[in-house]
Amino acid sequence: MSFNELIVEPMFFVVSTILSIFLSVFANIITPKLSALLSKYSSKIRHVQSKKKETFSIKVKVASNDENKVINIKLDAAYLLIRSLLIMIVSFFVFMTIPYFIDSFTIIILFISFLLVTYSISTLNNAQKTYNIALLATERAEKIKEIKYLVQDAFNPYDDYEHDFTDPEDEMFTEHLNAWDEENI
C-alpha cells in the first residue's frame, strides 16, 4: 500500500484527528508547567549574572584606586595566559603520542587531550576577564584624574560661596564618575 492510498483511507482521517486532539490537549497541559520551569531557571540565571556583574564592577572600582593593584592584576592575567598556553602545548604533545599506543588506549588519550584543551580554554577565558578588569581599572583611574581636574577648574577654590550645603565639587565629581561607571562597567 502506497502513501497516497493510505491518505485516502477513512481510517487515516479518524486516527489523525484523534491523535491531533490528543497532542493538542497534551501540549496545553504541559505548556504552563514548562513555561514556569523555564521562567524559574531564567530568573536564577539572571540573578547569577547580576551577581557576577556586581562583583566585576566592585573589582574594577577597588583596583582603580590603587595603581599597584592594577599592575598585580595585569601580572596575574599574564601568568594565567602563560599557564593556558603551556597546558595547550602539553595537550598537543599528549595528542601526538596516539600512534605510539595500542588502539584500545586511543580513546583514553583523546579524552585526556580534550580535557587539557578544555582546561586551557577555561584558563584563557579567566586571563581575558582578569585583563579586562585591569584595563577598565586603568581607564577609570584616568577618568578620575580627569574629572578631578575638570571639577577643580569649574569651581575655583577662591570663590565665596556658602558651605552650609553639600559641596558641589563632591556632588559633581560623583555624578560624572557614576555616569562613566554606568556607561563603561
Q: Render pLDDT for 9-29 as a digit per residue (tens, 0 to 9).
A: 788 888 888 999 999 999 999
How many Cβ atoms from other residues are within 10 Å of residue 122's Cβ? Answer: 12
Helices 106-154 and 67-96: angle between axes, nearest 10 degrees:
160
For the whole model, what pTM was predicted? 0.66
Q: Is the pLDDT of residue 5 over 80?
A: no
Q: Is the pLDDT of residue 158 over 70?
A: no
Q: What is the pLDDT of residue 121?
A: 96
Alpha helices in 65-167, H assignment, sequence order: 67-96, 106-154
80 and 127 Cβ atoms separated by less than 8 Å: yes
Tell which wins on pLDDT, 149 or 59: 59
In the numeric block, the cell 496545553 is attached to: 28
Q: Is the pLDDT of residue 61 over 50?
A: yes
* The three cell numbers locating residue 105: 588506549
